Amino acid sequence: MTKRRANNEGTIYEDKEKGGYRVQLTAPDGSRISKRFKDPEEAVTWKNNKLSEFSKKLYVAPQKVTLRQWREDWLEIYKKPNTKPRTWEEYEGYCERYLKDIDNIEIQKLVGFHITKTYNAMRKKKISEATILKLHNILNDMFNQARIDKIIINNPMDDVKRPSPKKKEMVKLDEDEILKLLKALEGTRIYAGVFLMANTGMRVGEVLGLRWKDIDFDEGIISISQNLQRSKTKGLAKELPKTESSFRSIYVTDEVLAVLSAEYQRQQADVDLKKSSTVVCNRLAKPLEPRRFAREFDRVRNEIGMNNVTRHALRHALASLLIDNDVPIPEVSALLGHSDQAFTYRTYVHSRKDATKKAAAAISEIFKPKTDTANVQENQKETCE
């Protein structure tokens, strides 16, 4: 077997016994890497590419880490400490349900083809494009962390087409429909909560987590500082609001204060409920479960033929009504607790077909031909003469 060196940057061997050429290099971590080629030009090209990786600090040591092993580490180390329990459970559930066919592939061998094939299999099972997009975002985050940790060189998601779900048409409610729903809910234990959602845009979790001590009846201000959610790991628990912008104080109308005051008096008049610390509670004066709130809401809305109205639709309706009445986007965004005003605009203005109707009317008025006042007066004078 003869040996040939190339600038002391690795070695290419011609293997006369087995045939072909073998390249041997010393990696930055001190380990030796080797690969066999039939063609000497391929051997030189591979060697030069590897040396380029070394110099650019792009080299990652070969590892037999499977996708399952990495995703479990990623969820435990990077997501669990920094993510709300329900979100973490959602991530875990998506991975368990949809990645089984590629779970045992080594992460360094996984390419865009494997991901695209997974997406296509999901589509054959009629799984929504919105669900596929959620999985796409999870995988992108997961592989990007693997790249940062030098487990892979490139993120394979760069070669995967991003799913594009059709935007779900928002259920539109007008003032009469909202009043009809509220009228039907009068007398129920969730009436005050739904009234709050319709008049403040509060999220369901924020309403269920609202305590009496969070309401300043004298100033007419509600302070939002917690969320009530149920998760498998923590059960029913109070969490911090969704984002920093979700911590907010909301000025409310006299009508809202009147409904809240009536609910407080109702609870105080009931021996079992007077110990309740929350605005919406169950029969034991404990915070009401989100699923029980949903069940009661759905029952009432179905009884009055508003089956397609979701709880979140009230939040959407309020935002749309405010914008229709010329309330500035920053103020609507602050009320809803959005962290990004652009999101408020995209959701409630940009998607509406009539979003530019007022602008078009204004433009028409601006460019309308102006009547020459002097000529009109002169013509009127001549007519009179």
pLDDT tens for the 385 residues of the chain, in order = 444 444 345 788 787 777 888 888 887 777 787 888 888 888 888 888 888 877 777 777 778 899 999 999 999 999 998 888 888 999 999 999 999 999 999 999 999 999 999 999 999 999 999 999 999 999 999 999 999 998 998 899 999 999 998 877 667 788 899 999 999 999 999 999 999 999 999 999 999 999 999 999 999 999 999 988 888 777 888 888 777 888 899 999 999 999 999 999 999 999 999 999 999 999 999 999 999 999 999 999 999 999 888 888 898 888 888 888 888 888 888 888 888 888 787 777 655 556 566 666 777 777 777 655 555 555 555 555 5
Take residue 149 and report the two structure tokens written for it: 């940790």
The edge-to-edge listing of strands for the beta sheet with 2-5 is: 2-5, 11-14, 21-26, 32-37
Take residue 221 and report the two structure tokens written for it: 């201000």
pLDDT at 329: 86
279 touches 196 (CB < 8 A): yes
95 touches 137 (CB < 8 A): no
pLDDT at 222: 94
Regarding pTM above 0.75, the answer is no
188 touches 281 (CB < 8 A): no
What sign does the dihedral 341-347-350-355 (CA atoms) show? negative
Contacts of 47 (CB under 8 A, 6+ apart): 6, 9, 10, 12, 23, 25
Instruction: For residue 342, report the phi and psi dihedrals to the nearest 5 degrees.
Output: -60, -35
Three-state SS at 232: coil
Take residue 200 and report the two structure tokens written for it: 């403040």
Three-state SS at 42: helix
Gap between the Cα atoms of 303 and 320, Å rounded: 26
Helix, strand, coil percentages in the chain from 3-state DSSP, rounded to 5: 55, 10, 35
pLDDT at 202: 93
